[in-house]
Structure 1
Amino acid sequence: MPTEQPAWVITRRKEIGARIRSAREHANLSQLKLGEVVGVDHKTVHRIEHGTSDPGLGLLLHIARVVDVDLAELVR
C-alpha cells in the first residue's frame, strides 16, 4: 500500500514537472511525441509534468536527453 507523500515532495515534483514541460515545449515536442521517444504513453508524460507521477531515474535521464537539458537542470 503506497504511503502518502509529504507536501514538500509533491511541491518539488510539480516544480520538476514544470521544468520538464518547459524543456519539452522548447524542444518543439508534444506530450505524445515525447512519450513515443522515451517509451511511455502521453498520459504518463502529462502526469509527470503535473507532478502526479513519480518517475524513476532511468525515465528522467531519458527525458533529459531527448529534450537536450542536463538532468541536474531539470531537478535543480
Structure 2
Amino acid sequence: MPAPDQPQWILDARRAVGDRIRVRRVHQNMTQETLAFTAGVDRSTIQRMEGGAEMKLSHLLLVAHALRVHVTDLLHG
C-alpha cells in the first residue's frame, strides 16, 4: 500500500516503470515466472513491480539485466 504522503508524480512514475517492465517482458514472450527465475527474484516481486509498487533498486537492476536492457530504459522509456 502506498504511503499517503507520496506525491502523485511518484505514484505515476512507478506505474510507468511497471508498465515498461510488463511491455518488455511480453515483447520477449516471457511469463512473470520466467522473468522472475531469470532475474533471481520471486514472481510476487515481478507482480508488485509491474503493479507500480515501491521497488528496490537491486530488483530493478536484476530485472533490467534479465530483460537485456539498460535500467534507464525502464526508468525513462
Amino acid at match of 1:17: G
Aligned length: 74
Aligned counterparts of 1:18 and 1:48: Cα–Cα separation in 2: 9
Amino acid at match of 1:32: E
What TM-score does the superposition give when structure 1 sets the normalisation length?
Answer: 0.84
Amino acid at match of 1:6: P
- Contact conserved, 2:40 with 2:62, CA < 8 A, in 1? no
Amino acid at match of 2:37: E
Amino acid at match of 1:60: L
Stretches of structure 1 lacking an aligned partner (at least 5 in a row): none
Match of 2:72?
72
Amino acid at match of 2:19: A
Query: Percent identity of the aligned residues?
Result: 36
Secondary structure in structure 1 of the residue aligned to 2:18: helix
1:29 aligns with 2:48: no
Aligned counterparts of 2:70 and 2:19: Cα–Cα separation in 1: 15
Query: 5 Å matches for 1:1-76?
Result: 3-4=3-4, 5-52=6-53, 54-76=54-76
Amino acid at match of 2:25: R
- List 4+ stretches of structure 1 deviating above 4 A: none
Deviations 1:25-66 (A, max 9, x none): 1222100111122222222211110102x1111111111111
What TM-score does the superposition give when structure 2 sets the normalisation length?
Answer: 0.83
Structure 1 position 14, deviation (Å): 0.3
